[in-house]
């Protein structure tokens, strides 16, 4: 029997995929949401070869409000009720405050911050509060300190931290917990071409294990915030 239904944005690759695999292994049914239909299908097929859970996929460009509305209408028509929504979709574009174009700023804010705000606002009625109910937001250590290789990305992640703190306060009366998970450097496509070995990074599975643990605690408990870094520090620390 299923442990409940969880929607994961960015579930087709990287950290979102690591979370999806870990939650599927714990018996949760999963909705994977991302842009690329190919990536979604590949990840769905991979998970289904290992785990006997239900998986649906939604192709949606989170930078477009109308696509978020379409995704919401689809889930409503299907009668989906989620015990958790995990916001993992995100983009990274290198660039600093004074040298980047306004287009880089807009693109980064749209996917990394605005989409999380709008998605949560729309999907709130589809959260099942009859049992433990949790919104998980994947932030970053870039939202805890200066981030010199991508300060605009850092601004979006600081915004996400502020969003999580306020959302947690707003939703606690409804019995919905909000967890902010801040990964440090994690080996995903974002680090393509890195000279460092994979062992120097956090693994996507580590974040999956952490999210699974947060969802396993008793219904009256929430992990406000958790930071998971490479033992030797984030890569930009060197």
Ligand X SMILES: NC(=O)c1ccc[n+]([C@@H]2O[C@H](COP(=O)([O-])OP(=O)(O)OC[C@H]3O[C@@H](n4cnc5c(N)ncnc54)[C@H](OP(=O)(O)O)[C@@H]3O)[C@@H](O)[C@H]2O)c1
Instruction: Decide whether 12 or 84 has the Cβ nearer to ligand X.
Output: 12
Instruction: Decide whether 41 or 81 has the Cβ nearer to ligand X.
Output: 41
Instruction: Decide whether 59 or 132 has the Cβ nearer to ligand X.
Output: 59
Instruction: Decide whether 132 or 158 has the Cβ nearer to ligand X.
Output: 158
How far is Cα 228 from Cα 231, in angstroms, rounded to an integer?
Answer: 9
Instruction: Decide whether 95 or 175 has the Cβ nearer to ligand X.
Output: 95
Instruction: Decide whether 84 or 186 has the Cβ nearer to ligand X.
Output: 186
Length of the chain: 238
Q: How far is the CB of 131 from ligand X (least distance, A)?
A: 26
Q: How far is the CB of 97 from ligand X (least distance, A)?
A: 18
Q: How far is the CB of 220 from ligand X (least distance, A)?
A: 28
Contact 42, 68 (CB under 8 A): no
**Residue 99 half-sphere exposure toward CB, CA atoms < 13 A:** 8
Q: How far is the CB of 218 from ligand X (least distance, A)?
A: 27
How far is Cα 61 from Cα 52, in angstroms, rounded to an integer?
Answer: 28
Instruction: Decide whether 10 or 208 has the Cβ nearer to ligand X.
Output: 10
Kindly list the residues in this chain that would bind ligand X in the complex (CB under 6 A).
10, 12-16, 34-36, 39, 60-63, 88-91, 111, 138, 140, 183, 185-186, 188-190
Q: How far is the CB of 190 from ligand X (least distance, A)?
A: 4
Q: How far is the CB of 34 from ligand X (least distance, A)?
A: 3
Q: How far is the CB of 210 from ligand X (least distance, A)?
A: 12
Contact 67, 118 (CB under 8 A): no
How far is Cα 214 from Cα 225, in angstroms, rounded to an integer?
Answer: 10
N-terminal to C-terminal alpha carbon distance within the chain = 47
Q: Which residues are CB-neighbours of 53 under 8 A, at least 6 positions away?
A: 2, 24, 27, 28, 29, 30, 47
Q: Encode 180-213: b = buried (16+ Cβ within 10 Å), e = exposed.
A: bbbbbbbbbeebeeeeeeeebbbbbbbbbbbbee
DSSP E strands in 38-146: the ranges are 55-59, 84-87, 133-138
Pairing of strands 176-183, 225-228: parallel
């Amino acid at each position: 029997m299923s442990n409940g239904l969880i929607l994961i944005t960015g579930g087709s690759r990287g950290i979102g995929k690591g979370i999806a695999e870990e939650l599927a292994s714990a018996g949760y049914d999963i909705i994977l949401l991302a842009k690329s239909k190919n990536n979604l299908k590949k990840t769905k097929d991979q998970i289904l070869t290992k785990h006997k859970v239900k998986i649906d996929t939604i192709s949606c460009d989170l930078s477009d409000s109308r696509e978020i509305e379409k995704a919401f209408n689809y889930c409503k028509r299907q009668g989906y009720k989620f015990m958790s929504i995990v916001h993992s979709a995100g983009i990274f574009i290198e660039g600093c405050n004074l040298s980047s174009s306004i287009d880089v700023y807009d693109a980064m804010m749209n996917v990394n911050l605005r989409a999380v705000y709008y998605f949560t606002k729309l999907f709130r009625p589809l959260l099942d509060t009859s049992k433990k109910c949790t919104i998980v937001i994947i932030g970053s250590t870039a939202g805890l300190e200066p981030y010199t290789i991508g300060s605009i990305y850092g601004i979006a992640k600081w915004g996400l931290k502020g969003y999580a703190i306020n959302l947690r306060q707003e939703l606690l009366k409804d019995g919905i917990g909000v967890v902010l998970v801040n990964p440090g450097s994690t080996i995903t496509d974002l680090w393509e071409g890195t000279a460092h070995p994979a062992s120097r990074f956090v693994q996507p599975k580590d974040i999956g294990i952490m999210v699974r643990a947060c969802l396993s605690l008793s219904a009256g408990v929430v992990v406000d915030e958790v930071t998971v870094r490479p033992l030797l520090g984030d890569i930009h620390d060197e």
